Amino acid sequence: MGSNLNFKIEKKLPGRLGRVGVLETPHGKIETPAFIVVGTKATVKALSPEDVQTLGAQAVLSNTYHLYLEPGDELVKNAGGLHKFMNWSGPTFTDSGGFQVFSLGVAMEEKANKFGAKKQETVNENICKEEGNTKLSKIDEDGVTFRSHIDGTSHRFTPERSMEIQHNLGADIIFAFDECTSPLASREYQIEAMKRTHRWAKRSLDRHNELGGPQSLFGIVQGGRFEDLRKESAKEISSLLFDGFGIGGSFDKEDVYKALVWVNEILPENKPRHFLGIGAVEDLFGGIENGVDTFDCVAPTRMARNGALLTKEGRMNIMNAKYKTDFTPIEGDCECYTCKNYTRAYLAHLFRTEELFAYRLSSIHNLYFVVNLVKKIRQSILDDKFFEFKEQFLNRYNSIKN
C-alpha cells in the first residue's frame, strides 16, 4: 500500500544524521525539522487555531488517551474528525495512548493542578512508571487495562483498539501502540517490554491496514538506555511497512543523543522520524543534529502558564518583582504578537491578578520561541551554519541561566 505521506530530504547535515526536508500530509506540508505543538484535548491550551497558525506552528499533536476519555473518539468522528472538531485545517498527529496509560499518576497530578505542574520539568522526566505496572494500569500480552484518571472507571487499550480510536479521531499521522518504560527499569524488563512493543507494532499495522483510509502510521522504537536493545528495536520496527517512525521512551539527559544515533543510523533515511515528548531547547539542537525530523512537547505551554518565559538568555520568571515596572517586551527583538504589543509589566500584572489573557500571551511567546528556534536551526543547516549557530545560541542561552 502506498503512503499518504511524501517525505523529501532537501539537505543533509555533513558528518551527522541531521537533515532538512518537507513532509507532505493530506492537510498540508510540514517543513522539517519542525516543532509540533501539543493540543492534548483538541485545543492548544489557551490558544485559538488562528493563534497557533500566526505564531508559525505547522502541525498539532493531540493525545489519544485524553480524547478517548473526553469527549470520546466516536464523538470526534461524528463531529467530522479532529480537524473539523477543533477548527484546525493543518496537519495533525495523535499519539497512541500508550504513554498516558503507563503514566496515569502524572495525569492525575495534572488534573489536580489545573494550570500545569509546578515543577517545570520536561514531560519525559520521571513520568514512566517502573516495571510497567502501576496501581492504575495492568499490562498483559494482549493489552492494558487501566482506570480513568477522571472518574476511576475501567478501560482497556489493545493495539487494535488504539488503531480504531485513532482512526475515529482522524489525524494525518498516528502511532502504533507501544509500552513506555522507565529509564530505571531493569534490562530484563526492558527486553520484555520491547519485545511486546514489537508484537504490538505488527498488530497495530495489521489493524491499521484493515481499517484503510488516508492516515499514516508511525512505528515506535523502544529499548530504553541499552545500545543493543535500541538497535534491535530500530531493526525490527524498520522491517515493518510503517510510513515513519517514533522514537519513544524516557531518557536520562546524557543518553538521549547516543540513543538517537544508535536508532537513526538504522532507521531508513527516506522516512520521517518523530521524537516523542521531547522539546527542551538543548534537545532541539541535539535531536536535529542526530536525525530527528519532528518533536512534540508540552513544556513550552506548561511553562508559559506558570509564568516561565523562554528567552535567548534562558528562562525568565515573570513573577519576579523587578518585572512589575519593566515597560519593555519579554524580548526586544522577538516578533511574536506578545512581544510586539505588550510589556513585561503588563504580563506581570496579568499573572498577579490571574487574568486569563496572561496564559494566552505567555503561551504565544513560548511557542513562538520554540517553533521559530527550530525554523532557525533548519535555516542554519540550509546555510551550512548549523554548528556555529548551535554554539552561539547555546552559549548565550546557558550563560545567563546558570
Active-site choice (172, 243, 293, 296): 296
d(CA 351, CA 198): 46
Active-site choice (51, 73, 95, 293): 95
Residue 22: exposure state from Cβ atoms within 10 A (0-12, 13-18, ≥19):
middle
Query: Does residue 270 contact residue 5 with C-beta atoms inside 8 Å?
Result: no
The partner residues of 28 in beta bridges, in order of sequence, read 25
Residue 295 has φ and ψ, to the nearest 5°, of -130, 155
Cis before 26? omega within 30: no
Residues with Cβ within 8 Å of 392's Cβ and at least 6 positions away in sequence, in order, are none
Question: In angstroms, what is the minimal distance from the CB of 115 to a copy of itself?
Answer: 9
Q: How many helices (H) and strands (E) does the chain have?
A: 16, 16
Task: Please indicate whether residue 73 is annotated as part of the active site.
Answer: no
Rounded to an integer, what is the distance from CA 92 to the centroid of its chain? 12
Query: Does residue 125 contact residue 250 with C-beta atoms inside 8 Å?
Result: yes
Question: In angstroms, what is the minimal distance from the CB of 113 to a copy of itself?
Answer: 12
Task: Please indicate whether residue 95 is annotated as part of the active site.
Answer: yes
Question: In angstroms, what is the minimal distance from the CB of 352 to a copy of itself?
Answer: 6
Question: In angstroms, what is the minimal distance from the CB of 60 to a copy of itself?
Answer: 13
As a 3-state breakdown, the chain gives helix, strand, coil percent values, each rounded to 5, of 45, 15, 40
The candidate with the shortest Cα–Cα distance to 260, out of 294, 299, 286, 241, is 286
Which chain residues interact with a copy of itself by CB under 8 A?
41-43, 45-48, 70-71, 75, 78-80, 85-87, 114, 324-325, 327, 341-343, 345-346, 348-350, 352-357, 359-360
Question: In angstroms, what is the minimal distance from the CB of 382 to a copy of itself?
Answer: 34
Residues tagged active-site = 95, 296
